[in-house]
Structure formats: structure tokens, C-alpha cells
């Protein structure tokens, strides 16, 4: 099946056939009227390349240096809480694929596999994503747990301060926590491979999957309501909280969900090591600016004082290179490897990474570049610019 998937969209279609609709919609769709998803795609498509010619590109190198380490690809697996739903122990499968590719895997706060098991079985570079809970002390205990497991990079996600408006989850019966419904049950029965390969394996091994990073006293199965108040995401997170986290966390600290240059500058002043320019894949605020438009001003504001990463909407290797040309040091990918994991576990995720590598190598050749550090704004402009001048930011 994987051999017939020639691009990410092919993998996506295979994942759609395999997964119950509720789970597929949960990982695939956006928020509100979902115009943000189209805006993400349009943001990439409106950017055009200005290739060089007569350059020897027989040896193209996709490696990049990030946080003092040379990495074979400019990619990071973004935190995705649903990995454990698309495949049995999907977090481990995805982490193994990342390790084989030599790129970091970011464990989500809402992971259904505990970080200890992922660290033992994946054996790659792990980052940990933190959503700050209402009870700060519980979040601080969680990052202590991450540090004790050898995780040196913490990704604080700050763009989910309210419940996203995703009506399709309610209609499909896939709210979090998941609620039982006749429609959802029939949907699952229509996808027996998923029921046998994922749900029944969980039930036989450990029961209904749970949020493994939630405190023991508040942990519940994903189908039951629990006492959520202390572990709900806080909507009162401020710059002082970031500074306190910086004081407590001895490793690298990345702030994810930044779309304004002034916020980026404040984050650097607060001591972060990296910033992720992200609209959460258009899954939170439907009308948020696409990262490709926000990125240049943020790069200018940061001025090399911290690493700048970007994500949201990447479907092609060319998308990755456009973000790099606009100043990103690396790119996080979320939905694409999830599709692959849903199709074939580790092998599917590895196939997605292979496709992206293949596409990046081809585009690099067409651009007349042999290394990623050659990319800059001279290679790119907005299609609507009639004079086709290099990209000038916002």
C-alpha cells in the first residue's frame, strides 16, 4: 500500500480510508469554518522560487545545525496527542521513525504512552511539549519527570488558551474526553482493521488508553469525565510564568505558538532558546495569520539571538524550503507523519519522511543550491508581486 503513495496527499487518503471518521477528522481538520486551512495552503502556494542555473548540484546536503548539533534533515516531529489513537502505541512507532531519520520527536503532554516507555523503546532524541495546567505545581512536577528521563528540550505551547471551536468533533462524538455515541460506535465498526489493530489491542494490553502524563490522581480513561479543574489548560499564563519556567528548567526552552514580532522579542528577553512560529495548524484560531507571512518579521526581531522554527500546513518538501528561505532554522511537521503512522505505523511515518527528503533534494537541485544555509529571501517572492522582487516580509 505504501508503495502506491507517491506524496503526502496519497498517504492522507490512505489514512482516511483506514481510520474511523471521528479520529481522522480530529487529526485532519481545522477550527470554526476552516478557512484557516485554505489560508495556510494559499500562503505556501503564493510564494514562488527564483532558481539559479549553471550551478553544480551533484552533491546536495540537507543537513542543518540546530542547537549546536548537526542534523541530517531540517525537520522535527511536532507534538501530536492523537498519535496513540491512529496506531497502537503510535507515539513509539512515530518516535522510532524519527530516530531512524536522525530528527527529534516531540512527546505531547496528552500522549497515551508514557515518556519513560518512549525513551526506552525509541532511543532517539526526544523533546517534551508542555501545556501549562491550572495547577502550576503539577506542571512543574511533569517537567522534572521529563528531565529525569534525559529529555533536554522543553517546548512550551502557549496558543491554546481557550477551547478551540471544532464542531465536527462534537458531531462525530470525538470530544476530549471521548464520549460514547451510537454514531461513533457505528463509525468504528465500519473500520474493523482499526478496531482490531488499535482499540482491541489496547483493551487486551492495558484497557482503554489514558493520558499517561496526567497525575495519577487525575488520570482517567479517554472515554470518561474526570476532575479536570487542576489539569485543565490555564488561560492565565503570563510572561512571569515563562520566566519562572526558565528558572526551573535547566535545558533548552522553546516557545511554540508565536505569530507576532513583539512577542518573539519579549520571549528572547525572557531567556528562551527557540521560538516556533505556528498557527497550531489552523486548529485553534481560524483567522490567524499563516506562519509564512509572520515569519520574516519574527526572524528580524529575533536577530539570531534564538533559533526560529516554524510549522503549520507543510505538505511538500518545497514548503519546508520556503520556510527555510524565509529564515526558519528548522521546520516542525505534524499531520503528515500522523497520516503515515495511521497507515503503517513506523514504516508509514518513515515513508512520509522519505517523501519529504526526496522532494527537498529535488527542489534544492532546481534552485541551484547544494546546502540549506545558501537559502535566503533572494530565492523567493510573492507571486502577486509583478516585479518579482525578493520577499520583503509583511
10 Å Cβ neighbour count for 159? 19
State how far the alpha carbon of 18 is from the alpha carbons of 133, 138, 334, 346, in Å: 34, 37, 18, 16
In the 8-state DSSP scheme, what is residue 179?
-
* Given 191, 213, 280, 351, the catalytic residue: 280
How far, in Å, CA of 76 to CA of 377, rounded?
A: 22
- For the chain, the 3-state helix, strand and coil shares in percent, each to the nearest 5, are 45, 15, 40
Nearest CA to 166 out of 158, 176, 156, 179 is that of 176
Residue pair 72/356 in contact (Cβ under 8 Å)? The answer is no
Number of residues written out for the chain: 394
Alpha helical stretches, state H, the chain: 8-18, 21-28, 35-45, 83-86, 90-101, 115-122, 136-148, 167-172, 182-189, 192-194, 200-205, 239-248, 261-269, 291-302, 317-325, 335-367
Cα diameter, the chain: 64
Nearest CA to 49 out of 373, 369, 313 is that of 369
How far, in Å, CA of 220 to CA of 273, rounded?
A: 34
- Is 280 assigned a catalytic role? yes
Nearest CA to 105 out of 238, 321, 90 is that of 90
How far, in Å, CA of 159 to CA of 134, rounded?
A: 15
* Residues recognised as catalytic: 280
Amino acid at each position: 500500500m505504501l508503495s502506491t503513495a507517491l506524496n503526502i496527499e496519497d498517504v492522507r487518503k490512505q489514512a482516511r480510508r483506514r481510520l474511523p471518521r471521528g479520529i481522522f477528522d480530529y487529526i485532519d481538520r481545522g477550527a470554526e469554518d476552516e478557512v484557516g486551512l485554505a489560508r495556510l495552503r494559499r500562503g505556501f502556494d503564493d510564494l514562488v522560487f527564483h532558481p539559479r542555473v549553471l550551478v553544480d548540484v551533484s552533491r546536495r546536503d540537507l543537513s542543518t545545525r540546530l542547537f549546536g548539533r548537526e542534523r541530517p534533515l531540517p525537520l522535527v516531529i511536532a507534538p501530536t496527542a492523537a498519535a496513540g489513537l491512529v496506531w497502537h502505541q503510535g507515539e513509539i512507532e512515530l518516535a522510532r521513525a524519527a530516530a531512524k531519520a536522525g530528527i527529534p520527536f516531540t512527546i505531547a503532554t496528552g500522549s497515551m504512552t508514557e515518556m519513560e516507555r518512549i525513551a526506552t523503546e525509541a532511543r532517539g532524541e526526544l523533546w517534551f511539549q508542555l501545556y501549562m495546567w491550572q495547577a502550576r505545581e503539577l506542571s512543574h512536577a511533569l517537567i522534572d519527570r521529563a528531565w529525569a528521563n534525559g529529555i533536554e528540550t522543553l517546548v512550551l505551547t502557549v496558543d491554546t488558551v481557550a477551547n478551540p471551536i471544532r464542531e465536527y468533533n462534537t458531531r462525530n462524538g470525538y470530544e476530549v474526553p471521548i464520549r460514547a455515541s451510537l454514531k461513533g460506535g457505528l463509525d468504528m465498526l465500519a473500520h474493523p482493521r482499526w478496531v482490531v489493530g488499535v482499540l482491541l489491542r489496547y483493551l487486551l494490553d492495558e484497557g482503554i488508553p489514558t493520558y499517561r502524563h496526567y497525575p495519577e490522581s487525575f488520570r482517567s480513561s479517554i472515554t470518561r469525565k474526570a476532575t479536570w479543574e487542576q489539569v485543565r489548560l490555564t488561560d492565565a499564563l503570563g510572561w512571569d510564568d515563562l520566566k519562572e519556567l526558565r528558572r526551573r528548567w535547566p535545558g533548552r526552552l522553546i516557545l511554540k505558538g508565536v505569530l507576532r514580532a513583539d512577542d518573539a522579542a519579549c520571549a528572547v528577553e525572557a531567556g528562551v532558546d527557540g521560538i516556533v512560529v505556528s498557527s497550531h495548524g489552523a486548529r485553534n484560531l481560524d483567522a490567524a495569520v499563516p506562519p509564512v507571512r509572520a515569519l520574516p518579521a519574527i526572524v528580524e526581531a529575533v536577530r539570531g539571538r534564538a533559533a526560529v522554527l516554524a510549522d503549520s500546513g507543510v505538505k511538500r518538501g518545497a514548503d519546508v524550503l520556503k520556510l527555510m528561505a524565509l529564515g526558519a532554522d528548522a521546520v516542525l511537521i505534524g499531520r503528515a507523519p500522523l497520516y503515515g503512522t495511521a497507515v503503517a505505523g513506523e514504516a508509514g511515518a518513515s515513508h512520509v519522511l522519505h517523501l519529504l527528503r526526496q522532494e527537498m533534494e529535488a527542489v534544492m537541485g532546481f534552485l541551484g543550491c547544494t546546502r540549506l544555509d545558501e537559502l535566503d529571501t533572494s530565492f523567493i517572492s510573492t507571486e502577486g508581486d509583478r516585479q518579482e522582487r525578493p520577499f520583503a516580509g509583511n
